[in-house]
Amino acid sequence: MDVEQYTKRGVPLPVSDFLLLAIYALFYPLVFGLLVIGLGYLINNDLLFYISLTVISLGLFLTMLLFFYKSYTELRSHAIEVAHVHFQPSWREVIIHLITQVYSVVFLGILLAIFFGSTIIDLPQWQYLGLALIISLGYQGMFIILSLNSKRKLLATAQTPVSTEIVNHVRQNHPNNHLINEFRFADVELASLFLSAGVMTLGWKKNICLISQYFNWKLTDEELIAVLSHEEGHLARHHIRTAYLILGTEGILRTFRIFIVLNALILILNDLPILAFNTFSLIFLILIILVFLTSTCLVLTQRYRVYLQEIRVDCYGGNLVGHEILANTLKKLPSIIPAPIGSHQLDFLTFRIALLREQANKLKSKTE
């Protein structure tokens, strides 16, 4: 290896990238949380505060349920389109995720009881919500720093630019190519296998498309262009922003979850039964159920959205380069790339290929 290889640097992360994450993933839940806390401060009556919190949670739940229902039915309609491939969203998943949510909250409760059980004192409810918000955003901040760190590591390996012929072709033929500022090959580690190729934001209106080095060796120029067109679709459909907004919404729901755990702890520590049938405990129970259901809806919606995003973006890419070409490119993936998002991934890839072929056939029969 020559000396130049060692001194070469990857792409650095600009400050605007941190700002973007902070705004969508920290500022948005912070504003929402502060509004609810402010409401509690204004009401200054615990029962009324519980009631308004339950109403807010109901609103959140209904919104999330709508998103969930929409993505569920859309994915299901695609599943019907290619009925010969076994890939369907199922109600079993809902149950599994609900149980997971309950478990994780109980676990959190036990942790908080062990570490802070004796120090928890009787405060107004809105102050507990403030505490929950701080814990939630602290966790979020830590998560963001960790993911930025792995992003930085990956970008450091992004040293080989994609050939000028390919980039020029994309620049001349693709409608939204201006959304991508850089095209590079990177050493995608085993830990992030999903990134066989992907787009990443580098801050305001600056995006990079990273492609696994493996593709550089294995794919033809035509196939590489197919991969790039798929990635361009993610930016044209604002998928990065959606991902950040979901991260922010997770922050809000985490705050609510920590809040109900803190409340349950206080009730237990003060020997107040949660299951007593007075107005307080009844509203609290409804709140708990709503928070669990909303969290489950969010997790599942997010999962289905990831699938739907790939399907929609395949359609976008297929329209640009031809569905058959994109399908053939995807066909090259399974043998080398094991399950990245959940165990269904190989099924999902087959599903995507089948959908693309279906689309190609439809177009063919239309022109005949």
Of 8, 9, 14, nearest in space to 201 by CA: 14
- Report the C-alpha gap between 17 and 169 in whole angstroms: 28
Half-sphere exposure of 156 (CA within 13 A, CB side): 9
- Report the C-alpha gap between 185 and 167 in whole angstroms: 13
Nearest distance, CB of residue 161 and Zn ion, angstroms: 21
Please, are residues 329 and 226 in contact by the beta-carbon 8 Å criterion?
yes
The pair of three-digit structure tokens given for residue 33, joined into one six-digit string: 């949380």
* Span 340-359, contacts to Zn ion by CB under 5 A: none
DSSP string, 311-352: HHHHHHHHHHH-HHHHHHHHHTSTTT---SSSTTHHHHHHHH
Nearest distance, CB of residue 245 and Zn ion, angstroms: 18
Nearest distance, CB of residue 42 and Zn ion, angstroms: 45
Please, are residues 289 and 63 in contact by the beta-carbon 8 Å criterion?
no
Nearest distance, CB of residue 87 and Zn ion, angstroms: 16
- Report the C-alpha gap between 94 and 90 in whole angstroms: 7
Longest dimension (CA), the chain: 76
Q: Residue 134's Cα: distance from chain center in Å?
A: 22
Nearest distance, CB of residue 313 and Zn ion, angstroms: 5
Adjacent-strand bridge partners of 214:
none
The pair of three-digit structure tokens given for residue 240, joined into one six-digit string: 């990065």
**Which residue, 97 or 332, is less far from Zn ion as judged by CB?**
332
**Which residue, 196 or 294, is less far from Zn ion as judged by CB?**
196
Of 167, 168, 206, 200, nearest in space to 183 by CA: 167
Site string for Zn ion, 257-296 (x = CB under 5 A): ----------------------------------------
**Which residue, 93 or 310, is less far from Zn ion as judged by CB?**
310
**Which residue, 135 or 311, is less far from Zn ion as judged by CB?**
311
Q: How many residues sit close enough to Zn ion to count as binding (CB under 5 A)?
A: 1
Nearest distance, CB of residue 358 and Zn ion, angstroms: 19
Half-sphere exposure of 251 (CA within 13 A, CB side): 32
**Which residue, 29 or 233, is less far from Zn ion as judged by CB?**
233
Angle (deg, nearest 10), helices 239-269 and 125-156: 140
Determine the residue with CB nearest Zn ion: 310
Site string for Zn ion, 300-319 (x = CB under 5 A): ----------x---------
**Which residue, 49 or 307, is less far from Zn ion as judged by CB?**
307
**Which residue, 143 or 194, is less far from Zn ion as judged by CB?**
194
**Which residue, 59 or 175, is less far from Zn ion as judged by CB?**
175
Nearest distance, CB of residue 329 and Zn ion, angstroms: 12
Nearest distance, CB of residue 306 and Zn ion, angstroms: 9
What are the residues binding Zn ion (CB under 5 A)?
Answer: 310
